[in-house]
A and B are shown apart, each in its own frame.
Chain A
């Protein structure tokens, strides 16, 4: 393995990878775990591939890691919900599911303050996007991947990428129109 070349490559993608994972998980420790796993998998399995292939491979591994994390979280949350129900939590103590839903317009009172700053507003808006829309938008707009490369990284069709990206873009433009009309 060409260690200096791989070191350089990982150093150039690690910050973006971390932020992408953090947008999805909303937890920096979980995000670091996902990035570490992606780096190890790339180095162990694909270090011998040409350097030009590292970027799409890395993002594919990363996006798979994020999707796996989301799937496990869904199962964990479902079991936690059932356990709470089994323990007979009273109606008063039970969390109101309406309160946990993301506000599609990002105008939740707790987010109003954050919206003052465009960067914080973007952060909040990205976190409200469904996972697939978030992935498609970040890969296309931030990482400047083509539709085909994004489809490969997300393991879906090019048509799905276009749909996810266009919906994400529309939602973000609506949410951030006060900052970037």
Chain B
């Protein structure tokens, strides 16, 4: 047997002895290893839950903001209950001539009646 073969044989022996040794761990140590393994797995699940929570918080925030925008646009675009849409009200208020017309509306109504009577 040359030195390389001897070395390989030696390593095989060491490996077998170490494997046997690891298999023969006492029950107390084995039980502790089981416990720390479960503890590590639980810690991992707690962390992934935390990540999900931190990830979902901004998503919920964006969803709420989007809902508010949609609600605001809907209310703005909805026609009012009156006969005139809001933009026409603004147009009316902005035109001074038209306001004078509405102030003298009763006079124009009387004038129209007088003209009908005179014709009749």
Interface residues on A, range: 35 or more
Determine whether the beta carbon of A44 is less than 8 Å from that of B20.
no
Q: Name the residue of chain B whose CB is nearest to the CB of A17.
A: B33
Q: What CA separation (Å) do A44 and B43 show in the bound complex?
A: 7
Nearest-Cβ distance from residue A127 to partner chain B, whole angstroms: 13
Chain B CB within 8 A of A28 CB: yes
Closest 6 CB pairs of A and B: A43-B44, A39-B40, A36-B36, A15-B22, A180-B13, A40-B40
Other than the known A19-B21, A39-B40, A122-B17, what 11 A-B pairs have Cβ atoms closer than 8 Å? A1-B44, A3-B41, A6-B44, A16-B18, A19-B18, A35-B36, A40-B40, A43-B40, A43-B44, A122-B18, A142-B15
> Given the complex, which residues of B lie within 8 Å of A3, measured CB to CB?
41, 44-45
Is there contact, CB below 8 Å, between A118 and B17?
yes
| C-alpha spacing A15/B23, complex, angstroms | 8
Contact across chains for B44 and A122 when beta carbons are under 8 A apart: no
How many Å lie between the Cα of A18 and that of B25 in the bound state? Answer: 10
Partner of A16, one of B9, B13, B17, B22: B22
Do the beta carbons of A36 and B39 come within 8 Å of each other?
A: yes
Partner of B33, one of A32, A44, A47, A176: A32
Give, as a whole number of angstroms, the nearest-CB distance from B9 to chain A.
7
Q: Which residues of A line the B interface, CB within 8 A?
A: 1, 3, 6-7, 10-11, 14-16, 18-19, 28, 32, 35-36, 39-40, 42-44, 47, 118-119, 122-123, 138, 141-142, 169, 172-173, 176, 179-181
Is B15 touching A173 in the complex (CB atoms < 8 A)? no
Our pick among B6, B36, B45 for the contact of A32 (Cβ within 8 Å) is: B36
Which A-chain residue is minimally distant from B20 (CB atoms)?
A119
Contact status of A142 and B48, CB under 8 A, knowing A7-B41, A32-B36, A43-B40: no
Chain B interface mostly helix, strand, loop or mixed? helix
Q: What are 28 sample pairs from A and B whose C-beta atoms fall under 8 A apart?
A: A1-B44, A1-B45, A1-B48, A3-B41, A6-B41, A7-B41, A11-B37, A14-B33, A15-B33, A19-B22, A32-B32, A35-B33, A35-B36, A36-B40, A40-B43, A43-B44, A43-B47, A44-B44, A118-B17, A119-B17, A119-B21, A122-B17, A141-B15, A142-B14, A142-B19, A169-B10, A172-B10, A176-B14
